[in-house]
Amino acid sequence: MVSSGGRLFEGADWDFHTLQRIHDACQEIAHSELGLDVYPNQIEVITAEQMLDAYSSVGMPLFYKHWSFGKQFAFQEASYRKGLMGLAYEIVINSSPCISYLMEENTATMQTLVIAHAAFGHNHFFKNNYLFKQWTDADGILDYLEFAKGYIAACEDRHGRETVERTLDAAHALMSHGIDRYPGKKTLDLRAEEKRAGERRQHEESVFNDLWRTVPNTKAKSKSAMTAERRRALLGLPQENILYFLEKTAPRLHPWQREIIRIVRHIAQYFYPQSQTKVMNEGTATYVHYRIMNRLHKQDRISDGNFLEFLQSHTNVVFQPDFDDRRWSGFNPYALGFAMMQDIERIVTSPEDEDREWFPDIAGKGDVEGVLREIWSNYRDESFIGQFLSPALIRRFRMFHLHDDPAESAGIKVDAIHDERGYRRVRRELSRQYDVGFVDANIEVIDVDLAGDRRLMLRHTTVKDAQLNETDARRVLQHLADLWTYDVVLTEVDASDKVLKEYAVSPRAAAVAA
């Protein structure tokens, strides 16, 4: 009754030709209908075990070796085997070409969903979002990882596994504070970076001359000449990128240690945009696959049965449990992102009076794809929610805002709900939940006396009285002191500069000797 001439596939089976046909069909829709601009695609078919492997190296196809990835692997393997955890259908890598991993046991419908989701949705987002453009280098990342892997392996051969592991442990502990949050003069070019590292090493080797060690040291310059102000300016203080500061300033690090810190820092920076765009990234990809799948179904290129199969997994993906549900574990970025994209589509095509009042710029504009592309390019989660979460959506999710002040004995206050008085407050608070400035502790290097006792001073400016967990803070500071090789002091202060707590940590003997 239905001609299967246009069908991409029948049933659940697929082969590589099917994948190619699916990709081409998706591409056709992505280009002509959605106007997406993507990196070339590379689709890799992998097994469940390889998916587990990829999980434990933060999803990257190649990565340097470290025990912590093994720990993660052991943990994930255990919960996967017990059936506690399902595997993702796909992993996609922000690189050019854009690599998507597809699991071999996916059905043909799932492969279509995944290709539309990852190879077009995520891919477009990676290529066009301003954060990714600013902070990541899709062309160079795979080469850089290759370099990092080789470099660290070479270091292990030269300096011993344990020594290198200690440096990596320390750098990992500080990874979340190895990020430049604001664009500076440097743009990241990982290929040049890799080349420079090689050149640096070569230069060192070529100019090494043992004679220099025999030359007596020149007298130190007079200490008083340098004022505290000038010293801080020279060191670029205050500095929130602790790893960068260590790499450039730590007095006793070996060159290879600085390079390792640099590698960890670059990788942290590469992932920085992803942590800031979870809702948008997944929202975009989910919206794109939803549009493409619907179009394919309308064109009769996938059967009703397969479309129902798609709808079922789609519904699971965008399911948002309520806060009092046992399955509640925070907002589901797929659900929130997808709902917002659809809501924007509604506002652009058939707005109501309320929407015209809240979104005069886009309400009734008509060009859904244009508006969305514009948003996908120029926002991150915080600003996206801050501007585009509509009252209609707040009502639909029945969002409410709780304020929990430990000093208040009466309990937790319901500060705002989905009503006229509450919309803006709910929206502001939700947007703040996605602001990295609020999520990560604000810790800065404020001073160091390089001429004196070389003590490194850090300051944690608390927000809303949240202090650091003491056990973890001490451990991280221990790592920091081991890299710095002199004492480290961290002061926690509140907004009015009142000191709340002070940590002082000395380096371990082994670290100093190294």
Partner 1 sequence: MVMHIVDRRLNPGSKSLENRQRFLRRAKALVQGAVKKSSQDRDIKDVLEGGEVTIPLDGMDEPRFRREGGTRDMVLPGNKKFVEGDWLPRPNQSGGKGSSAGEGDSEDAFRFVLSRDEFVDLFLDDLELPDLAKRKLAETESEGIQRAGYSTSGSPANISISRTVSRALARRVALRRPRKDEIEALEAELAECDDATRRQELLALLEALKAKVKRIPFIDPIDIRYRRFETVPKPVAQAVMFCLMDVSGSMSEHMKDLAKRFYMLLYVFLKRRYKHVEIVFIRHTDRAEEVDEDTFFHGPASGGTLVSSALVAMNEIVRTRFRPADWNIYAAQASDGDNMTSDSALTGQLLTDKILPVCQFFAYLEVGEAANYTFDMPDSSLWTLYERLRNEGAPLSMRKVSERGEIFPVFQDLFKRRSKQERVA
Segment 174 to 203, residues that bind partner 1, using CB under 8 A: 175-177
In whole angstroms, the minimum distance from the beta carbon of 47 to partner 1 comes to: 5
Q: Is residue 331 within 8 Å of residue 398, measured between CB atoms?
A: no
Sheet holding 499-505, edge to edge: 442-448, 456-461, 488-493, 499-505
- Restricting to residues 99-118, name those near partner 1 by CB under 8 A: 101, 104
Of 37-45, 216-224, 270-278, 298-306, which part binds partner 1 (CB under 8 A)?
37-45
Q: Are strands 41-46 and 98-103 parallel, antiparallel or unpaired?
A: parallel
Q: State the number of binding residues for partner 1 (CB under 8 A).
A: 98
Q: Does 495 bind partner 1 (CB under 8 A)?
A: no
Q: In this chain, which of 8, 14, 19, 95 binds partner 1, going by CB under 8 A?
A: 19
Gap between the Cα atoms of 324 and 355, Å rounded: 30
Token pair recorded at residue 251: 């007095």
Nearer to partner 1, 227 or 316 (CB): 316
In whole angstroms, the minimum distance from the beta carbon of 487 to partner 1 comes to: 18
Tokens 């917002």 belong to 340
Q: In this chain, which of 8, 25, 43, 317 binds partner 1, going by CB under 8 A?
A: 43
**Helix (H), strand (E) at residue 36:** none
In whole angstroms, the minimum distance from the beta carbon of 411 to partner 1 comes to: 5
Q: Does 13 bind partner 1 (CB under 8 A)?
A: no
From residue 291, give the alpha-carbon distance in Å to each of 26, 219, 246, 295.
10, 72, 48, 6
Nearer to partner 1, 218 or 409 (CB): 409
Tokens 């907002």 belong to 331
- Restricting to residues 252-291, name those near partner 1 by CB under 8 A: none
* Nearest to 67, CA basis, from 154, 149, 165: 165
Burial of 353 (0-12, 13-18, 19+ CB in 10 A): exposed
Nearer to partner 1, 57 or 109 (CB): 57
Q: At what angle do helices 255-276 and 190-207 cross, to 10 degrees?
A: 170
* Nearest to 310, CA basis, from 107, 47, 48: 107
Q: Does 420 bind partner 1 (CB under 8 A)?
A: no
User: Which of helix, strand or coil describes residue 102?
Assistant: strand
Burial of 274 (0-12, 13-18, 19+ CB in 10 A): middle
Of 245-253, 268-276, 349-357, 394-402, which part binds partner 1 (CB under 8 A)?
394-402
Q: In this chain, which of 56, 109, 276, 303 binds partner 1, going by CB under 8 A?
A: 56
- Restricting to residues 438-457, name those near partner 1 by CB under 8 A: 440-441, 443
In whole angstroms, the minimum distance from the beta carbon of 307 to partner 1 comes to: 23
Of 88-96, 215-223, 349-357, 391-399, which part binds partner 1 (CB under 8 A)?
391-399
Q: Does 154 bind partner 1 (CB under 8 A)?
A: no
In whole angstroms, the minimum distance from the beta carbon of 80 to partner 1 comes to: 10
User: Which of helix, strand or coil describes residue 456?
Assistant: strand
- Restricting to residues 222-251, name those near partner 1 by CB under 8 A: none
Q: Does 319 bind partner 1 (CB under 8 A)?
A: no
* Nearest to 39, CA basis, from 91, 90, 89, 99: 99
In whole angstroms, the minimum distance from the beta carbon of 158 to partner 1 comes to: 18
In whole angstroms, the minimum distance from the beta carbon of 443 to partner 1 comes to: 6
| Residues, the chain | 514
Q: In this chain, which of 93, 293, 348, 426 binds partner 1, going by CB under 8 A?
A: 426
- Restricting to residues 73-102, name those near partner 1 by CB under 8 A: 73-75, 77-78, 81, 97, 101
Contacts of 384 (CB under 8 A, 6+ apart): 279, 280, 340, 375
Q: In this chain, which of 219, 327, 464, 498 binds partner 1, going by CB under 8 A?
A: 464
Q: In this chain, which of 205, 325, 361, 453 binds partner 1, going by CB under 8 A?
A: 325
Q: In this chain, which of 205, 229, 404, 453 binds partner 1, going by CB under 8 A?
A: 404
Q: What is the biggest distance separating any 2 CA atoms in the chain, rounded to whole angstroms?
A: 94
Q: In this chain, which of 463, 499, 510, 512 binds partner 1, going by CB under 8 A?
A: 463
How far does Cα 257 stand from its chain's mean position?
A: 24
Token pair recorded at residue 129: 């979002």
Nearer to partner 1, 80 or 307 (CB): 80
Contacts of 238 (CB under 8 A, 6+ apart): 232, 444, 445, 446, 459
Of 280-288, 410-418, 444-452, 505-513, which part binds partner 1 (CB under 8 A)?
410-418
